[in-house]
Amino acid sequence: MSAIADNIRFFDEKLRDTPCRLVAVSKTHPPEMIMEAYNAGHRIFGENKVQELLEKRDLLPHDIAWHLIGHLQTNKVKQIAQFIDTIQSVDSLKLLIEINKRAEQFNRTLPVNCMLQFDIADEETKYGMTYEEAIALLQSEEYRNMHFIRITGVMGIATNTDDQDKLRGEFRTLRGYFEKLKETFFIANDDFKEISMGMTSDWELALAEGSTFIRVGSGIFGARNYNK
Ligand SMILES: *Cc1c(COP(=O)(O)O)cnc(C)c1O
């Protein structure tokens, strides 16, 4: 059995009996490695770049649920709107409007699952909204008229640190946003249920803090040979 298949089984075991699922982050890794995870039964994969996602999707089975987890430029939405399962990195109303518009043009039967990305880390390079921006988005007239997207939850990238207290604080912040938004905007909407947080180095803590999607790359596929 391959190391990748072993790693998939490891996470299957760890997440059994939890509401949390694994997004296998395959960025920088070739389709053959994705197939090893696929053949171990895994179906949810995450990529952070549109071009790379398109190239891989062409070569891989079409029952993969692709999650876009990286910053998405508005002008690239049309390239993925037909097939993408989930866009975890929605960080503006403008982007959401474009996703809805392109999904409508493709006449999708299933809406695009969209998650609101929040800025929970210190690092200035991280994308994501503030809580106030998310409120404004959800109160907007435009959002209320969208029928080809659905907002399924929140996503955040924690600071790259070993400091467990700091990480726990950031995960709690994201969970707090989720709970307040749930109460305010989605109380009767079962689609809004996801909290995407935790990566290779901090997924156990994220799981303990209520994550429903951990996004694990190097912990499944090994180290990436260049930084992405
Ligand atoms: C690359 C990436 C991951 C996975 O990182 P690992 O440390 O390799 O597990 C998770 N989330 C996002 C947004 C990423 O870009």
Could you tell me the distance, in angstroms and rounded to a whole number, from the CA of residue 141 to the centre of ligand 1?
A: 34
Tokens of 72: 């998405």
Q: What are the tens digits of pLDDT across the range 128-157?
A: 999 999 999 999 999 999 999 999 999 999
Q: Is 180 left (phi over 0), alpha (psi -120 to 50) or beta?
A: alpha
Closest atom of ligand 1 relative to the 218 alpha carbon: 8
Q: What are the tens digits of pLDDT across the range 59-85?
A: 999 999 999 999 999 999 999 999 999
Of 165, 166, 155, which Cα lies nearest the Cα of 122? 166
Could you tell me the distance, in angstroms and rounded to a whole number, from the CA of residue 110 to the centre of ligand 1?
A: 27
Could you tell me the distance, in angstroms and rounded to a whole number, from the CA of residue 98 to the centre of ligand 1?
A: 25
Judge if pTM exceeds 0.95. Answer: yes
CATH architecture of 3-221: Alpha-Beta Barrel (3.20)
- 154, 199, 211, best to mutate for ligand 1 pocket (most atoms within 8 Å of CB): 199
First-residue to last-residue Cα distance in the chain = 28
> Ligand 1 in contact with 198 (CB < 6 A)?
no
Q: What are the tens digits of pLDDT across the range 162-194?
A: 999 999 999 999 999 999 999 999 999 999 999
DSSP string for residues in 106-157 = TT-SSPEEEEEEE--SS-TT---B-HHHHHHHHHSHHHHT--SEEEEEEEE-
> Ligand 1 in contact with 48 (CB < 6 A)?
yes
**For residues 38-42, average pLDDT:** 98
Could you tell me the distance, in angstroms and rounded to a whole number, from the CA of residue 140 to the centre of ligand 1?
A: 31
Domain residue ranges in the chain: 3-221
Could you tell me the distance, in angstroms and rounded to a whole number, from the CA of residue 215 to the centre of ligand 1?
A: 6
> Ligand 1 in contact with 199 (CB < 6 A)?
yes
